[in-house]
Structure 1
Amino acid sequence: MSDNEQRVVAARLREARESLGLTQGEVSGALQIPRTSVHAIEVGKRGVSALELRRLARLYRRRVEWLLGEDEAPVAAADGALYRATQDLSADDKEQVLRFAQFLAAGSVPRGARPGSGGKRP
């Protein structure tokens, strides 16, 4: 991996972590590596193994291709905000939020009927 590629990966990893409101300590615990290794990866001083990259992609809910800088598809800013807004909820409340999200994703509410969609309610 070239220096430029490593800088891109480092920046994307940091961006993904910060968008979820995670600390380097939380990431190190999830990956079972020292926090100093997470810092070194994010500043481009340490490379990331394929296994670590896959685990980071899962943790950050990002595609490996995006982390590598090969996929420019924007990640919705609302994803991070939604995570931060729900991280302190009880398990029961999180389950309710999940059920509501699944209800919306299933199309049970006509798109024009959703608040803020500009459509009229039935």
Structure 2
Amino acid sequence: MNIDKSQDRSEILATRLRQARELAGLSQGQVAKLLSMHRPTISQIEAGQRKVSAEELLRFSDLYDASPDYLLGRTPTTLEADDPRVRFAARELNKLKPEALEGLLKIIASFQEPSSGNKDSK
């Protein structure tokens, strides 16, 4: 029973490390070089076949600019400002022309639920 929880956490960590690497636009080889590791080690970690030490977790966290809690799957279901996906989206939005950004913001607003905190909707 504890094994299942440990496996779930390992899978979450492996998935989030892979996602963070991809969002950072880095290859496994580049990450390995930046962290002074071997590329197969990065592959094993991302496949959930190798455990990550606390020191390694902090190094990944620093490299991807993501909190250890995010990488470990300990964050709420909503995204925090320091989530690497939010940072990636912000970088991409920054590339848009003002009129395109306004149009996209209207589309995003249409996806929000009326009870999402908008005081004017009451």
The two structures have a TM-score, normalised by structure 2, of 0.64
**Contact 1:21/1:80, CA 8 A, preserved across alignment:** no
Read off the aligned partner of 1:80 and give its amino acid letter. F
Q: Which runs of 5+ in 1 are unaligned?
A: 87-114
Deviation >4 Å, runs of 4+: none
| Pairing 1:31–2:53 present | no
| Pairing 1:71–2:75 present | yes
Q: Which runs of 5+ in 2 are unaligned?
A: 96-100, 107-122
Report what 1:55 is aligned to: 59
Read off the aligned partner of 1:56 and give its amino acid letter. F
Cα distance change of structure 1 residues 30 and 76 upon mapping to structure 2, 3 Å threshold: closer
Q: Which of 11, 14, 17 is equivalent to 1:10? A: 14
SS in 2 for 1:40: helix
Q: Which of 13, 20, 25 is equivalent to 2:24? A: 20
Q: Which of 85, 88, 92 is equivalent to 1:80? A: 88
Taking the aligned partners of 2:63 and 2:84, their CA distance within structure 1 comes to 16
SS in 2 for 1:71: coil
> How many residues are aligned here?
89
SS in 2 for 1:32: coil
Taking the aligned partners of 1:21 and 1:33, their CA distance within structure 2 comes to 18
How far residue 80 of structure 1 moved from its aligned partner, in angstroms, is 2.2
Taking the aligned partners of 2:69 and 2:86, their CA distance within structure 1 comes to 20
The two structures have a TM-score, normalised by structure 1, of 0.64
Cα distance change of structure 1 residues 78 and 69 upon mapping to structure 2, 3 Å threshold: closer
RMSD between aligned alpha carbons?
Answer: 2.5
Cα distance change of structure 1 residues 54 and 76 upon mapping to structure 2, 3 Å threshold: closer
Read off the aligned partner of 2:38 and give its amino acid letter. P
How far residue 71 of structure 1 moved from its aligned partner, in angstroms, is 1.0
